[in-house]
Amino acid sequence: MSMLKTPGDKYRPFPPINLPDRQWPSRAITQAPRWLSTDLRDGNQALIDPMGAEKKSRFFDLLLKVGVKEIEVGFPASGATDFDFISGLVKDGRIPDDVIVQVLTQSRRDLIETSFASLEGAHSAIVHLYNAVSPVWRKVVFGMDKDQIKAIAIEGAKVLRDQAAKYHGTDWRFEYSPETFSTAEVEYSVEVCAAVMDVLQPTPDKPIIFNLPATVECATPNIYADQVELFGRMIPNRDSVVISLHTHNDRGTGIAACELGLMAGGDRVEGCLFGNGERTGNCDLVTVALNMYTQGVDPELDFSDIDAIAKTVEYCNQLPIHPRHPYVGELVYTSFSGSHQDAIKKGFAAMEAKNDPVWEMPYLPIDPADLGRSYEAVIRVNSQSGKGGFAWVLEQDQGLKLPKKMQAHFSTQVQALADELGRELFAEDIWAVFQRTYKLNTPQHFQLIDYEESKAPDGTRLFAGKIALDGKEQSVSGRGNGLISSVVGTLRDAFGVVLEVKDYSEHAMTAGSDARAAAYVECVGADGKTIWGVGIDEDVATASVRAVLSAANGVA
């Protein structure tokens, strides 16, 4: 078998929806929807090894911590694992008053009865009934016509109504899913939902949830939005209806479909953390919520320790999260490439300089710190990196802020190492090559032992000190207009080293009592070549002396 040259012989395009006055394209998402986590149901039924009680329990606690208020806790009729977990939650009083749990059932009397039994004693709960309505399912799975399929829903709704009356101590809510909604005729889904409504008699105070699943994603997300908008216009008693969105990701646009569905009138979003779920997954609640957050909308879910959340989810699902998964992946805040690094570094400097919190950051749509991520990994260096990359790493790791021209000088060393090693350069690699290049903490040709500086009556400065030449101490002195030029004079007079200082800069490295300073000098040697020197010391003047000696070591 191979791919067809004429795929149209086998696959049909999804027909557009006739909705010329569609409103959703000009709407925006301005408030958080109701969130329903189906990690413990749709997510769980898609796992290689479904969760046992311990994992379900951990996941449930995590969802409470994140702030999810509606949680589909399982499919009670699937077996003892789910049933016992659900009834255990109720019996052990683990469902907070402001949280409502939900269970899913096929539209079959025995399964519905088991579902109610699992929730006996709950203060409130949602029972979620489903049956598929689209043409392929009608034909292939059920072998039934439209009226017969509608009858399944009506019969199920009647059992819901009767069971709710039987367990009258619970505030029962109902959800109905015309499963495969997105591949069904919208008018027919409305007809089935209206029939369910006739049985369950929702009110604005006690609305019914109609969940509109893209059970299998078969079209572009604009089509789903059209379907949602059309459903919202056609369903009777709209004020007694909550429209819930339940998208899957078969075409890779489950999140987009959900967002457009919200614009089209969706009130509630169903999905899983990090998008686990059947096949290519459910809608990722984290991404939808954080997309909102980056538009300035409070999603009312707390992902401020996203790594801890990811760890628990990976443990419970026994599935890894991709390193490039939006917002959470290990690499999603990391830039390796030079121009990105340059922009991000400038972005952080601009944020620090300006006096307002508005996030204006090239290449980073969200502040990683908001999700508990550090800035350390924002820039990592390899052969694709530029000056901004290692400059950032040196600043984060060593507190050094290299002058721009010096970055260009050091860049060739870093690039050569990256090409030679053919791998990422870590902070310690960059620091090692920096020390080697500028002769720091290595056996030095010229080494400062100590010195004194004094002012002559004519205003000039006198440098008098001890410098070791290849380990042999010498007392030396020299004069100049300032400290740096007096050291340059000393090197010339005592050792015959000719240096002309072109530029000098310094900065404090850390705050507090153990603060150190870094000094940088750009010099030109006797041969006209540029040499850079770096000095680090607790005393800023001594740092500048060390910087000149570092340059002299570069000549030697």
Ligand X SMILES: CC(C)C(=O)C(=O)O
Q: Which residues bind ligand ACO (CB under 6 A)?
A: 42, 45, 75, 77-78, 106-108, 111, 130-131, 141-142, 152, 179, 215, 278
- Work out how close the CB of 71 gets to ligand ACO at its nearest, in angstroms, rounded to a whole number: 16
Inter-CA distances, 35 with 71, 133, 547, Å: 8, 24, 59
Q: How far is the CB of 15 from ligand ACO (least distance, A)?
A: 23
189 binds ligand X (CB under 6 A): no
Check residue 82 for interaction with ligand X (CB under 6 A): no
282 annotated as a binding-site residue: yes
75 binds, among ligand ACO, ligand X, none (CB under 5 to 8 A by kind): ligand ACO
**Any idea which residue has 């990592």 for tokens?**
380
Could you tell me if 85 and 75 are in contact, meaning their C-beta atoms sit under 8 angstroms apart?
no
Containing H/E element for 260?
helix 254-263
Tokens of 351: 């944020």
Q: Name which of 241 and 425 has its Cβ closer to ligand X.
A: 241
The secondary element (H helix, E strand) that includes residue 315 is: helix 306-317
Give the interface size with ligand X as a residue count (CB under 6 A).
9
Amino acid, res. 380: R
424: three-class secondary structure by DSSP: coil
Would you say 43 or 465 has its CB closer to ligand ACO?
43
Partner from ligand ACO, ligand X, none binding residue 330, C-beta < 5-8 Å depending on class = none
Pick the stretch among 95-103, 207-215, 292-300, 450-458 that binds ligand X (CB under 6 A).
207-215
Q: Is 409 known as a binding-site position?
A: no
Q: Give me 320's structure tokens.
A: 């890894």
Tokens of 208: 């019914």
The helix or strand, by DSSP H or E, that contains position 489, with its residue range, turns out to be: helix 483-495
Which partner from the list ligand ACO, ligand X, none does 177 bind, CB cut-off 5 to 8 Å by kind? ligand X
Contact 363, 340 (CB under 8 A): yes
CB 394 within 8 A of CB 431: yes
Site for ligand X (CB under 6 A): which residue of 35, 60, 130, 390? 130
Structure tokens at 232: 């919202």
**Could you tell me the maximum CA-CA distance found in the chain, to the nearest angstrom?**
109
Q: Name which of 202 and 281 has its Cβ closer to ligand X.
A: 281
211 binds, among ligand ACO, ligand X, none (CB under 5 to 8 A by kind): ligand X
- Nearer residue to ligand ACO within complex by CB, 143 or 528: 143
In total, the chain counts a number of residues equal to 556
Rank residues 42 and 522 by Cβ distance to ligand X and give the closer one.
42
Q: Is 246 annotated as a binding residue?
A: yes
Q: Which does 240 bind (CB under 5 to 8 A by kind): ligand X, ligand ACO, none?
A: none
The three-class DSSP label of residue 176 is: strand
Q: Distance between CA 490 and CA 501 in Å, rounded?
A: 14
Residue 179 or 537: which CB sits closer to ligand X?
179
Nearer to ligand X, 25 or 252 (CB): 252
Segment interacting with ligand X, rule: CB under 6 A, options 90-98, 210-218, 409-417, 516-524: 210-218
Strands 208-214 and 241-247, sheet pairing: parallel
Q: Is residue 176 at the binding interface for ligand X, with CB under 6 A as the rule?
A: no
Q: Which amino acid is at 146?
A: K
Q: Give the one residue of 42, 284, 342, 522 binding ligand X; rule: CB under 6 A.
A: 42
If contact means CB under 5 to 8 A according to the sort of partner, which of ligand ACO, ligand X, none does residue 246 touch? ligand X
Continuous segment of H or E residues that includes residue 430: helix 427-437
Beta carbon of residue 129, minimum distance to ligand X (angstroms, whole number): 9
Buried b / exposed e over 491-518, threshold 16 CB at 10 Å, is: bbebbebebebeebbbeebeeeeeeebb
Q: Minimum distance between the CB of residue 128 and ligand X, rounded to whole angstroms?
A: 7
Contact partner, 106, from ligand X, ligand ACO, none, Cβ < 5-8 Å per class: ligand ACO
Q: In Å, what is the CA distance from 447 to each residue of 203, 471, 552? A: 86, 8, 10
Interaction of residue 439 with ligand X, rule CB under 6 A? no
Per CB under 6 A, 177 contacts ligand X: yes
Site residues for ligand X, window 226-265 (CB under 6 A)? Answer: 246, 248
Instruction: Quote the least distance from Cβ 143 to ligand ACO, whole Å.
Output: 8
**Nearest to ligand ACO of 43, 232 (CB atom):** 43
42 a known binding residue?
yes
What are all long-range contacts of 221-224, with beta carbons under 8 Å and residues at least 24 apart?
A: 221/253, 221/256, 221/257, 221/259, 221/260, 221/261, 222/25, 222/260, 223/14, 223/16, 223/17, 223/182, 224/182, 224/257, 224/260, 224/261
- Which residues participate in the annotated binding site? 42, 246, 248, 282
For ligand X, the binding residues (CB under 6 A) are 42, 130, 177, 179, 211, 213, 215, 246, 248
- Which residues participate in the annotated binding site for Mg(2+)? 42, 246, 248, 282
